[in-house]
Structure 1
């Protein structure tokens, strides 16, 4: 009897370990979609000055080349909800991978600014689909106790992709080989495409499609405990009694409109922190500080490294400290960093010490974003939407992300040329201060709370900031 108990305990422990390993592997592989996103953000930063020289185009054309990806991503995000619901989260990621490889190859062979803009639109379509499907997939596969950390891994992979792209650009900048900068990312794109074929489908999506037996088999494998899997399946099936009908729900239900509105606001807040100004135009910013081409590229690589390292802060704290305290801290740090950068650039930055101090404060800003709004906004947007409208809600917030991203990318050089570098950074610093107040009034604390509990509070009409209680 005692021996049987020992054997059963050993089997349960082994099953639990295998389940944890499966969940981590699955989430890491899906989060590689973030790597694709990061690579595409990063490569254009180092390539713009060489593209400008070869095609002899002005700053406005460069803004269009940079922001074309966001235009495609906005279009991809519009169709991503339908794709994710119809084809499934996994197949949406596969489609994103195919488009990414095609867009990367076309970028490397671009023979005119117009061709390059078209290639960037294709890349954008890939990223638009992937940035919708990946966080949604992660939210539905990860157990709630580690959901925040797993979704934050998606943001970490974005930062790793940016760093790899910055380092690649720096190495290739000595020869000015911008075509290789843009085309070489087709290689990791192909590896991602092969890897994502190994992923299981989302159990929640399978339940939505009426494929219960398959969903339970995957859920058992992911959770490693039959009772836990059965309990989660019961919660999902209870929610699915009301069918997925996002648009109709948006028109009919005020509470759902509130959650969609909050998701849209969160993405606007993330984009207007000014982070992507630095990501897309870092070499130009360092040029404004007085550095030569190689100095610009190496400092840009340092920006990427700081971004990666600071993201670990979010992964470590998100399920311990909570969402709101991290957001407060991040917005305050970002406002301070950009405010000081603007003040320093208001002078002449004549001394080397002043230049280095300004670079350090820009890196402080990067730390503030990477530990807070970067990963947490994606986490919150996936948590606050009710299951029956989740595809629609996340689709709206993802679309907003890319429209706001496009506005940032298409206006920064114009702002620099119009109001000057110091006023531009002061503008973004002021927005970060406003975001602290918006976080207090509207953003809920969702740490350790099940998606189903958040939905019940939302639909019962609780204030948005209270739906995690």
Structure 2
């Protein structure tokens, strides 16, 4: 009887711990997801707001490019600054600072009285996006088990796509009144929610351990795992990875293997952006007007369809990355995007040549859906997953700062050149240029990109520092 009572009591304690760890994991996913939601809202909101902003301030094509790309400029600065913030203050307080900038930037955009003030507010918003895009995937990668790490970071990307869709829906609803100030100002609501959620987050055990705070790291691991042996094993892995004194810029200069992987992270982010998919997000109404949809309602509804596709296709990535792997997703995605941009260019060429067939316009819209679907199930989440996995622990802040900054500089380039490309080489050639890029990226994926499915961060680091080929560091 006594033994039965002890076992029953032990079972209750174990079940209680399991529930607590499950709640903590859910809350961590929610808070990081809110950062992704804000990221997506900022990307998506400008698509619907831009035509009304352009009319309100009488903007030229070049000024419209500035309004779009100013956020990416801020994001690049944010990514650079967050390398220092994340290393010094930790992942939690970096996210908290990002939430504050989200609030400031959204309010500033809503009350802008000139294009100059709007540009400054957009740079501030971009700074917040740079922090979120850097810190949230990094935080999730350090809090997740290796078996679900890819899925959890893909869930963050799902929230980015949900944010884009919500922005498109909001823009569509407000397009009837043309209230662009409400479109850009509403972002402050989820920003406040993010700030309140982050206040209750624990910091990353890996970051705590890197600062010598092993007792606190162990305490956080207990929040994440109900199994004592798993806590001890993970803490031991973290201790082992911290034995060699190396960090950041100094390690980049001293170790060629670290340089290789930093450049790989930068290449991955450039590949993601030069697929050309974000231009569909930023300039969707413009693209649909080129395809023959002339009314604001038609353009915005087509934009919502793209946003919905982005969300649904991200579910494919969530189920693929930890089963089929990262490389298959990228190869399939780049192939789909190459085919989609090729056919979209053909449709736009026919329309430019004077064709008035309605079916061509519908095929053009279908191809944007195909492109967005291919992007959402591959490069959009997988690049962030890989960049958070491949960097060694002691140079992870530096490596991810470099890759994230590359993402936003590349993003700024495509945002600031799309309308210029349309005016100089034409709509069809613009998309055929991106077709060529996507074909090139298929070969890069085959010959350079590693498969990191079901491999611990510590094992990836060990393989890298042993000098293995980049494509083999996940073996």
TM-score, normalisation: structure 2:
0.97
Q: Is the 8 A contact 1:28 1:153 kept in 2?
A: no
Does the 8 A contact of 1:27 with 1:141 survive in 2? no
What residue number does 1:429 align with? Answer: 435
Q: What residue is the counterpart of 1:342 in the other structure? A: 345
2:453 matches 1:447? yes
Instruction: Tell me how many residue pairs correspond in the alignment.
Output: 469
C-alpha distance in structure 2 between counterparts of 1:276 and 1:432, whole Å: 14
Where does residue 358 of structure 1 map in the other structure? 364
Q: Is the 8 A contact 2:41 2:167 kept in 1?
A: yes
Q: Please state if 1:324 is matched with 2:327.
A: yes
Q: CA deviation at 1:133?
A: 0.8
**Aligned partners of 1:190 and 1:17: how far apart in 2?**
27
Match of residue 261, structure 1, among 254, 260, 263: 263
For residue 24 of structure 1, report the CA deviation from its aligned partner: 2.9
The aligned counterpart of 2:404 is 398
Q: Which residue of 2 aligns with 1:18?
A: 20
Q: Contact conserved, 2:34 with 2:190, CA < 8 A, in 1?
A: no
CA distance in 1, matches of 2:192, 2:14: 37
Matches within 5 A, 1:205-220: 205-220=207-222
- 1-structure distance, mates of 2:18, 2:210: 26
Once the two structures are TM-superposed, the CA of residue 414 in structure 1 deviates from its matched residue by 0.4
Distance across 1 between alignment mates of 2:372 and 2:135: 26
**Which of 120, 134, 138 is 1:118 aligned to?**
120
CA distance in 1, matches of 2:435, 2:30: 33
- 1:376-416 deviation line (CA, Å, top 9, x unaligned): 00000000000011000000000000000000100000001
Cα distance in 2 for residues equivalent to 1:366 and 1:74: 24
What does residue 37 of structure 1 align with? Answer: 39
Distance 1:331 1:258 in 2: 23
User: Distance between the aligned counterparts of 2:76 and 2:206, measured in 1?
Assistant: 25
Given the alignment of the two structures, is residue 375 of structure 1 paired with residue 381 of structure 2, yes or no?
A: yes
Bigger CA drift: 354-363 or 383-392? 354-363
1:305 Cα deviation (Å)?
A: 0.7
Cα shift at 1:74: 0.5
1:84 pairs with 78, 81, 86, which one?
86
| CA positional deviation for 1:345 | 0.8
Aligned to 1:171: 173
Deviation at 1:199, TM superposition (A): 1.0
Q: Summarize deviations over 1:109-160 as a string: whole Å, max 9, x none.
A: 1111111111000001111111111111000011111100101111111101
Q: Is the 8 A contact 1:80 1:129 kept in 2?
A: yes
User: Are 2:189 and 1:187 equivalent residues in the alignment?
Assistant: yes
SS at match of 1:347: helix
* Deviation of 1:19 (Å): 1.8
Gaps of 5+ in 2: none
Note if 1:274 corresponds to 2:271.
no
* DSSP-derived class of the 2:148 partner: helix
- Cross-structure match for 2:49: 47
In the alignment, the residues of structure 2 paired with residue 429 and residue 21 of structure 1 have an alpha-carbon distance, to the nearest angstrom, of: 44
Partners of 1:164 and 1:28 in 2: CA distance: 17
Q: CA deviation at 1:209?
A: 1.5
Q: State the distance in 2 between where 1:27 and 1:184 align.
A: 23
**Deviating more after overlay: 343-352 vs 388-397:** 343-352
Deviation at 1:21, TM superposition (A): 3.3
2-structure distance, mates of 1:121, 1:361: 32
Match of 2:107 in 1: 105
Query: Equivalent residues in 2 for 1:295-314 (5 A)?
Result: 295-314=298-317
In structure 1, C-alpha distance between the alignment counterparts of 2:11 and 2:336, rounded to whole Å: 48
* Whole-angstrom CA distance in 1 between matches of 2:42 and 2:266: 23
Counterpart Cα distance in 1 of 2:58 and 2:33 = 38
Q: Judge conservation of contact 1:30–1:199 (CA < 8 Å) in 2.
A: no
Deviations 1:407-430, CA, capped at 9 Å, x for gaps:
010000000111000001111011
CA distance in 2, matches of 1:81, 1:108: 29
- In 2, are the aligned partners of 1:143 and 1:223 still within 8 Å (CA)? no
CA distance in 1 between partners of 2:307 and 2:238 (Å)? 39
Whole-angstrom CA distance in 1 between matches of 2:70 and 2:23: 39
Shift of 1:10: 4.9
Distance 2:385 2:344 in 1: 29
CA distance in structure 2 between the partners assigned to 1:244 and 1:200 by the alignment: 25
Q: Are the counterparts in 2 of residues 20 and 224 from structure 1 also a CA contact under 8 Å?
A: no
How far apart, in 1, do the equivalents of 2:250 and 2:382 lie?
Answer: 28
Specify the alignment match of 1:238 in structure 2: 240
The Cα shift of 1:28 comes to: 2.6
Decide which of 124, 128, 131 is 1:129's aligned counterpart: 131
